[in-house]
Amino acid sequence: MKSTVSVIEKVATTRRRVGGLVAVGLAAGLLGGCASALVDNEPQLYRLTPASTFTASLPKVGWQLEVDTPAAAAGIDTGRIALRDTPTNLDYFAGVSWTDRAPQMVQGLLVESFENSGRIVAVGRDTAGLRPDCVLKTELRDFQAEYPGDRARLPRLHVRLSAKLIAMPRRTIEASETFEATVDAPSARFGDIIAAWDRAMNQVLRQTVEWTLTRPVSSSGRTTS
């Protein structure tokens, strides 16, 4: 029987290897306090990080924003970590998973990124009970590692998010845009793949936050242009 201390050390080592990303290994076993509860075939869990740096001239807005859960195709709307080696197929890495379904994870990252900007009065999920001036509706269209025809090659991490800013209470679309980023993984190590994925996600998060906060919206949800 392995000790709980040795399991914690294993998780800490994984976190250092990923380089700042959160790799949470078998949390239920740790909370139970007994390493014998750990199951070898449980997946290693990963999450990405929110954007934390923004353009210095980003304006401060006086309205509230609700961030809806992104829509996504069934192949992306899962906790499994997706890969694609042809334009027509979707597969998944074995033995690893996100800490949440991809759309829910991205929703949380968007909320945290808006909060990190320090430029908005209030922002929250669609379950937060806000009385929003605007709603950000998004669709997660790409969220996978792409191997161009050969899995022996290094992957490119691809994130694409379509966004619509909805004015309340009229529920009119005030603006729409698509944000996209691709980052090449520096090696085939899974920690490096996740690190590259995090960089691509951060680019899209930053673009989405800055685009949203520079729309001409008043505190009543009306455009001011």
DSSP per residue, 116-157: HHT-EEEEEETTS----SEEEEEEEEEEEEE-SS-TTSPPEE
Shared domain check, 84 and 7: no
Q: Give the type of residue at 33.
A: G
Closest CA to 138 of 159, 161, 158, 122: 161
Whole-number Å distance between alpha carbons of 139 and 16 = 32
Number of separate domains in the chain = 2
* Average pLDDT of every residue of the chain: 84
Shared domain check, 132 and 177: yes
Shared domain check, 57 and 10: no
Q: Greater confidence, 34 or 223?
A: 223
Shared domain check, 67 and 26: no
What is the average pLDDT across 115-140?
A: 92
pLDDT of residue 15: 38
Closest CA to 160 of 141, 176, 145: 141
Domain membership of residue 72 (yes or no) is yes
Shared domain check, 65 and 3: no
Domain membership of residue 164 (yes or no) is yes
Examine the pLDDT at 83 and tell me if it is beyond 70.
yes
Domain membership of residue 219 (yes or no) is no
pLDDT of residue 9: 34
Shared domain check, 121 and 35: no
Shared domain check, 19 and 36: yes
Contacts of 223 (CB under 8 A, 6+ apart): 167, 174, 215, 216, 217
Shared domain check, 167 and 199: yes
What is the average pLDDT across 202-220?
A: 89
Examine the pLDDT at 95 and tell me if it is beyond 80.
yes
pLDDT of residue 89: 92
Domain membership of residue 73 (yes or no) is yes
Shared domain check, 116 and 17: no
Q: Greater confidence, 135 or 10?
A: 135
Domain membership of residue 81 (yes or no) is yes
Domain membership of residue 108 (yes or no) is yes
Tokens matching residue 72? 């996504």
Give percent of the chain above pLDDT 90.
68
Contacts of 65 (CB under 8 A, 6+ apart): 114, 120, 122, 123, 124, 130, 132, 133, 134, 135, 136, 212
Closest CA to 111 of 209, 177, 219: 209
Shared domain check, 68 and 14: no
What is the average pLDDT across 187-196?
A: 97
> Where do the H-state alpha helices sit in 19-147?
27-32, 102-117
Residue 121, domain extent: 50-92+100-213
Burial string for 127-138 (b: 16+ CB within 10 Å, else e) reads eeebebbbbbbb
Examine the pLDDT at 186 and tell me if it is beyond 90.
yes
Q: Give the type of residue at 198.
A: D
Contacts of 154 (CB under 8 A, 6+ apart): 184, 185, 186, 187, 188
Question: Confidence class of residue 14 from pLDDT cuts 50, 70 and 90?
Answer: very low
Question: Confidence class of residue 223 from pLDDT cuts 50, 70 and 90?
Answer: low
pLDDT of residue 219: 61
Closest CA to 169 of 130, 215, 120, 131: 131
Shared domain check, 143 and 60: yes
What is the average pLDDT across 124-128?
A: 83
pLDDT of residue 42: 87
Domain membership of residue 169 (yes or no) is yes
Q: Greater confidence, 224 or 130?
A: 130
What CATH number should be reported for the domain holding residue 205?
A: 3.40.50.10610
Question: Confidence class of residue 1 from pLDDT cuts 50, 70 and 90?
Answer: very low
Shared domain check, 107 and 15: no
pLDDT of residue 220: 59
Domain membership of residue 68 (yes or no) is yes
Pairing of strands 44-47, 22-25: antiparallel
